Amino acid sequence: METQSVSLEKKSGTLIVTLLKCGVLSSMLYIAMNVFIPMFHPGYSSFSQTVSELSAVDSPTRTLWMVLISLYSLLVFVFGWAVRSVAQGDRRLRIAGILMMVYVIVGLVWPPMHQREVLAAGGGTLTDTLHIAFTMFTVPLMLLIMGFGSAVFGKRFRFYSLVSILIMIVFGVLTGLQSARMEANLPTPWMGVWERISIAAYMVWIMVFVVMLLKRARTG
């Protein structure tokens, strides 16, 4: 009986480790999506256009994006559940895990924007307004995840997290400053770059966070 109990405990630990690694897979998938999906969107420029334009209404890449973002969401949700499971009484880690699951739920119902040509012609609808509102909710949610997650580990990781948060904010602001030009279908040089740097800061942070969690699991 005792041997069976130990075996089940080992299997449970192996499962949690596997689920934690879903955090790395989710970030790698999202980064990969931003590399190859634009190839299927004629005329799209990752340099000057936003990620949201890949899933805009009537965009040629909307279906592909939605399929893969569903897989990304599943990976993040599983990762969030695993983070919550390994909290072991650590309230900060448990909250970080819960926030990740909330982040997924919000992302699944995120209203799409219209293509910039449609916006410039006055074809924007309620979904465009809600798209902005969801962004304004999701970004602080990501920052909270990083804040609670960073508090679990030492000073070096907290400093790294602070730098990542600052990068997200600075480049997020630079992206936002060009929103009016995008809606008017005017040139938005660097807009895509700024946004992707901001997103990459979060995606890389998640991968580093996973590494920290796995080290803690091995030593714990």
Q: Residue 185: exposed, middle, or buried by beta-carbon count in 10 A (0-12, 13-18, 19+)?
A: middle
pLDDT of residue 220: 56
pLDDT above 90 for 1: no
Mean pLDDT across the chain: 92
Predicted TM-score of the model (pTM): 0.91
pLDDT 10s digits, 71-116 = 999 999 999 999 998 888 899 999 999 999 999 999 999 999 999 9
* Spatial distance between the Cα atoms of 134 and 6, rounded to a whole number of angstroms: 45
Mean per-residue pLDDT, 14-31 = 93
Mean per-residue pLDDT, 183-188 = 96
pLDDT of residue 8: 31
Tell me the two tokens of residue 105: 């739920």
Of 173, 148, 172, which is closest to residue 161 (Cα–Cα)? Answer: 148
* Spatial distance between the Cα atoms of 90 and 136, rounded to a whole number of angstroms: 28
* Least-confidence region, from 13-22, 46-55, 91-100, 175-184: 13-22
What is the C-alpha R_g of the chain?
Answer: 19
In the chain, which ranges are continuous DSSP H helix? 2-20, 22-36, 62-85, 91-108, 116-120, 126-150, 155-176, 179-183, 191-219
Higher pLDDT, 123 or 1: 123
pLDDT of residue 13: 67
Tell me the two tokens of residue 156: 């070096």
**Secondary structure (3-state) at 90:** coil
Yes or no: say if 167 and 197 are a contact pair by the CB < 8 Å rule: yes
| Ramachandran category for residue 162: left, alpha or beta (phi over 0 → left; psi -120 to 50 → alpha) | alpha
* Least-confidence region, from 12-16, 31-35, 36-40, 197-201: 12-16
pLDDT of residue 89: 84
